[in-house]
């Protein structure tokens, strides 16, 4: 009887270890994680990238809808090919990157969650903060849980990867950035595409 009880306790611990949520760090040592942003105005179409990405996401493979976390992008890391445009983008006339140093998205909840194997798609509602203004938005997200694959990216590490993909549109006017101005060259709508991988070492 005592041995049976011990086995049940050990099984419970093993189950808890398997079912425990995992914490993923999105500050990528390779600086591969990126956000692509694009404006498409009548006179000019501008594309750029941001790589100053960090954040932590807690993910439970057994319950993807319970995912929570926050992703941050350094405003000063936004880059466009034209140096003068980049300077203007980060100036106080536009993003004011010195004052508003981070662009963030913090998860509130998940809807329409569908999981197929290691892939989960969902509509994720969160608080998006840009230029000192925070709005609740809902965006589509695809999450791929790659168990034991951290070694494939970083040969010296063992652990798991969580890959996030999302594409959505915001309006700069919703964040107090030159509302109704310069729309012939910089569209009000800004398309954002996120390609991120987080690591959970063991």
Q: pLDDT tens across 174-184, in order?
A: 999 999 999 99
Query: What CA–CA distance (Å, rounded) separates 166 from 150?
Result: 21
pLDDT (average), residues 157-173 = 98
> Is 57 in contact with 24 (CB distance < 8 Å)?
yes
Tokens of 4: 């049976």
Rounded (5°) CA angle 176-142-174? 10
Q: How far is CA 30 from the centre of its chain?
A: 16
Query: What CA–CA distance (Å, rounded) separates 47 from 130?
Result: 18
Share of the chain above pLDDT 70, in %: 91
pLDDT (average), residues 151-160 = 95
Question: What are the residue ranges spanned by the domains of the chain?
Answer: 21-201
Q: Given this model, what pLDDT does residue 15 score?
A: 42
The overall pTM is greater than 0.85: yes
- Which residues have a Cβ under 8 Å from the Cβ of 4 and sit 6 or more positions away? none
Query: What CA–CA distance (Å, rounded) separates 46 from 31?
Result: 22
pLDDT (average), residues 57-69 = 97
Q: How confident is the model at residue 16 (pLDDT cuts 50, 70, 90)?
A: very low
Q: Given this model, what pLDDT does residue 10 score?
A: 45
Q: How confident is the model at residue 4 (pLDDT cuts 50, 70, 90)?
A: very low
User: Does pLDDT of 1 surpass 70?
Assistant: no
Fill in the DSSP letter of residue 76: G
Q: Given this model, what pLDDT does residue 18 score?
A: 52
Lowest mean pLDDT among 14-23, 87-96, 103-112, 193-202: 14-23
Tokens of 131: 């230029």
The CA distances from residue 173 to 45, 140, 176, 189, in Å, are 18, 22, 5, 8
Q: Does domain 21-201 have CATH number 1.10.3720.10?
A: no
């Amino acid at each position: 009887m005592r041995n049976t009880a011990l086995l049940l306790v050990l099984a419970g611990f093993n189950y808890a270890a398997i079912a425990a949520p995992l914490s993923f760090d999105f500050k990528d040592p390779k600086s591969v994680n990126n956000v692509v942003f694009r404006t498409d105005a009548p006179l000019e179409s501008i594309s750029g990238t941001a790589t100053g990405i960090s954040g932590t996401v807690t993910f439970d493979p057994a319950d993807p809808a319970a995912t929570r976390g926050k992703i941050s992008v350094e405003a000063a890391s936004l880059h466009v090919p034209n140096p003068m445009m980049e300077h203007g983008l980060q100036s106080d006339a536009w993003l004011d990157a010195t004052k508003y140093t981070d662009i963030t998205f913090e998860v509130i909840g998940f809807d329409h969650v569908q999981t197929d194997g290691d892939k989960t798609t969902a509509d994720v509602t969160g608080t998006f903060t840009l230029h000192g203004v925070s709005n609740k938005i809902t965006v589509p997200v695809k999450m791929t849980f790659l168990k034991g694959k951290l070694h494939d990216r970083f040969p010296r590490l063992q652990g798991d990867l969580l890959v996030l993909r999302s594409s959505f549109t915001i309006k700069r006017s919703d964040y107090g950035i030159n509302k109704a101005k310069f729309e012939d060259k910089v569209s009000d709508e800004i398309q954002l595409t996120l390609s991120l991988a987080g690591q959970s070492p063991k």
